[in-house]
Amino acid sequence: MVKADLQELTRSPTAVLGASGGIGQPLSLLLKACPLVDELALYDVVNTPGVTADLSHISSVAKISGYLPKDDGLKHALTGTDIVVIPAGIPRKPGMTRDDLFKINAGIVRDLVEGIAKHCPKAFVLIISNPVNSTVPIAAEVLKAAGVFDAKRLFGVTTLDVVRAETFTQKYTGQKNPAHTKIPVIGGHSGETIVPIFSKASPSFTIPDDKYDDLIKRVQFGGDEVVQAKDGAGSATLSMAYAGYRFAESVIKAAKGEKGIIEPTFIYLPGVVGGEEIAEATGVQFFSTPVELGPNGAEKAINILDGITDKESRLLEACKAGLQGNILKGVDFIKSPV
């Protein structure tokens, strides 16, 4: 039997929480079409019967089921699940920051992760809901309080920042396929906390001096472009579904034994091998950094801070100030609820 067949036979039950939304639907479509996913559970507070019926007609491997909160829907969606992707929560409108979403999304993420702690405590948890800089610390605190936290299994999905960096730099990388340039984007997921490290791109490329600042700003504030263009109808959904799927596929492939998969993702540094060193260098405990994925999730956090340019060091300083506040806000929401 060839390796691909073996991979397809290994189980990877996956759940999407917030599956009826702007991200949830296209993300669920991509997961339904993925030959590596054998079971797909869709959960949302609305519309999952329709989304599930629609996707169920696709002739792919995954057996699909849909749940609403009634009749213990969350429990049924999560029981036996190995990978949980969470795009549940409200998106931005023009003029809002991601932090403005905290009031509503913090409680949504807390409640869903409480369900994970109860029904699938060993699952890989991929958090898309904003503000990621705070919702991931919230998830970590919920899992810690339940005594089931494993930092290797909790990921904030920052892949859209990487995807944007690949796309926006294409005219300088010269790659026909922009995704063929690996560009680490580190820090957090909002404005100045997003730090593209162009100097560590592979293959390397050069950005003209007079274009550098604009390019950095475009990656940092790419989300605003979409929010403004959608003019009140939400934020990035399709590009996020692509990015979320790309990250989920990497987690699944690594879990099945594929070697050498490295993706930037927002993790709790002290709980991942190599992370302590990055926590010490940055002064923050949650941070997006390239991570080597494996059968147990985040096997190793890779420190790319040595040898970054002066400009990148300045970007990192600006990142740290904002990121620390976002992290503490999430931690406090669980530790000292008001």
Q: Tokens standing for 171?
A: 């005219």
Name which of ligand NAD, ligand LMR, none residue 194 binds, using a CB cut-off of 5 to 8 Å depending on partner kind.
none
Residue 310 Cβ vs ligand NAD, minimum distance, rounded to whole Å: 28
Q: Could you give phi then psi for residue 257, rounded to 5 degrees?
A: 110, 0
Residue 128 touches ligand NAD, criterion: CB under 6 A: yes
Q: Does residue 164 have a known ligand-binding role?
A: yes
Rounded Cα gap, residues 126 and 192, in angstroms: 22
Q: Which positions ≥6 away from 40 have C-beta within 8 Å?
A: 13, 14, 15, 16, 28, 31, 32, 55, 62, 63, 64, 65
Closer Cβ to ligand NAD, 164 or 320, answer by number: 164
Residue 226 touches ligand LMR, criterion: CB under 6 A: yes
Stretch that binds ligand NAD, among 143-151, 195-203, 228-236, 284-292 (CB under 6 A): 228-236
Q: Out of 62, 101, 163, 319, which residue is the one contacting ligand NAD (CB under 6 A)? A: 101
Angle between helix 238-255 and helix 24-33 axes, rounded to 10 deg: 40
Closer Cβ to ligand LMR, 89 or 115, answer by number: 89
Rounded Cα gap, residues 196 and 213, in angstroms: 11
Q: Could you give phi then psi for residue 281, rounded to 5 degrees?
A: -70, -30
Q: Does residue 96 have a known ligand-binding role?
A: no
Q: Does residue 177 have a known ligand-binding role?
A: no
Helix (H, G, I), strand (E, B) or coil at 30: helix
119 in catalytic set:
no
Stretch that binds ligand LMR, among 27-35, 40-48, 221-229, 283-291 (CB under 6 A): 221-229
Q: Tokens standing for 112?
A: 């869903």
Conformation bin of residue 72: beta by default, left when phi > 0, alpha when psi is -120 to 50: left
The residues that touch ligand NAD, with contacts defined as CB under 6 A, are 17-18, 20-24, 43-46, 87-92, 101, 105, 108, 111-112, 128-130, 132, 157, 160, 189, 234-237, 240
**Which residues are the active-site residues?**
189
